Structure 1
Amino acid sequence: MALKSIDTSDYVKTDEKLFELLDDVVEKIGEHNVVQVVTDNGSNYVLAAMLRHFTNDKELVRHAVTRFATSFLSLERVYEEKGNMRKMFTSDEWAKNKLSKEANGREATKIVNMPSFWNHAKYTLKIMGLLVQVLRLFDGEKKPSMRYIYEAMEKAKECIMKTFLNDESKFVPSQAMQQKILEEQALYKAGYGLFGSDFEKSQRKKILPAFWWRIYGHEAPNMRDLAIKILSLTCRVSECEHNWSIFEHIHTKKRNRLDHERMESLVFIKYRA
């Protein structure tokens, strides 16, 4: 039996406000009639309501579209709503809201109004969109994908190269640093100092390359950092495939409204179990 309903869309869900609302009901029905108080685990719906208002009821987080590109698709939606989000964080409604005075609210306002944030978002979408398309092709279930993969990867690489204007210096943009790395490369090839040690040479075949450079690359610090950056890149998809399988068991058609952070935590726990 429903005793009372309250429109809390304009409230900030603090402990004090919840206590105030519940205490009023408890007083009316009598403390001796209350066995237990149960609340949901939502922290605040005011910001969500305001976002829906300024974005014409569009959801910024897109969970159900794909199993492995939620972050990318959510960023894409945020970028699409760039203008509306700026309007919201500069509106009178936001300025009057208690959340705008809190640390997280001030930080959110700063980020949304920061041109560099939107430039970085655009840059990320431009590059990662191509890779997401390839990943979705991998994960397709309607037709065998292997014969399409190589062509898709080549097209993605070509598009990324065009986006960077065929500039291959992204790992080391500084010419001065490039020169240092070339000089250190000569030391490595010549077996200078520790690079000439028989023990260090023997370790190259026993430990992972990136780990080897981390331990023995002190003679060439600039080349070491570049080597670690490149050699740490994974060339396997087994871990990703394992995660996708776990994700599929947790994120089903009937259970597709999980909070993003909760969903990631469940996948992490099940993967490590």
Structure 2
Amino acid sequence: MEDIGALPWMKSILDKAKFIVKFVTTKPKVLNIFRAHSTLDFPKPSMTRFCYMYIVLDRVLRVRKGLLCTVVAEDWYNIQEVRGGDTLFTQFSVLVMGDDEFWTKGDTLVAAIQSVYNVLRITYMEGSTLSLLYEYIDRIQESIQKVVGLSDIEKTTLCDAVRKRWDWFHKPIHAVAHILHPLWRSEQQFTDIELENSWIDYIMRWSGGDVAILSELETERLQFRSMERYLGQPIARLRENQIASVTWWEKYGVSTPLLRRLALRILSQDCSTGPAERNWSTWALFHTKKGID
């Protein structure tokens, strides 16, 4: 999200959204008027919060009615700074009531980065989500291209930012997890050079170059692709998108024991340290005075 937020054409919109949040939350009188006209509040300013940029912009757009009611309320005109023509208060009023470009572009940006937010949310979830990442990264660019309101240049720069970050952190294990997820298996995988290169790179290291293991893996992978024996049972096909991929392999991968062992090893991994960090925070709380009390 930081890479996307640094794009010049996005930064101006995000800066205005952050100005609104900071202005309202740091001025008690304004905050009280706003809360009287809105059922939603602003998230606390915290640049370390997960996807804070997206959350702030989305929330500002959702509470626009409350903001409009704030700057036309009788209590608003009773504030000394408003009567005195304070620059910040004037800037806030103009932004809320008169800057149509900000609100229109804001809606467009939220729609554009919704798919990016979804991917980041998947990586931050608890559970085995590694096998979902590759597919959803591919879908990001498709989603961006469908957004109405972005120019071709803006779509290109946004897609380039996503691709640059993906190229920086993705490893062969992401592609192998994609290959081994039952929901994504298809003939097209065998013609995808990037997937095949990642598969070969990973299994060569995993097998230690043992030809017998490599041969058995390829044989079992063909069975997986062709949906042979247990892997192609109607109930197995039905459960592809109903249960976790790890559970699916535990139940239906008995006819391909080596591939099953590899799948369970890979698909059981988390995407990030997010879940662990939450556990560490909880554990650390136990050792503080507040936690003991």
TM-score (norm 2): 0.42
Greater helix percent: which structure?
A: 2
* Greater RCO, CA 8 A, separation 6+: 2
Report the structure number with the largest CA radius of gyration.
1
TM-score (norm 1): 0.45
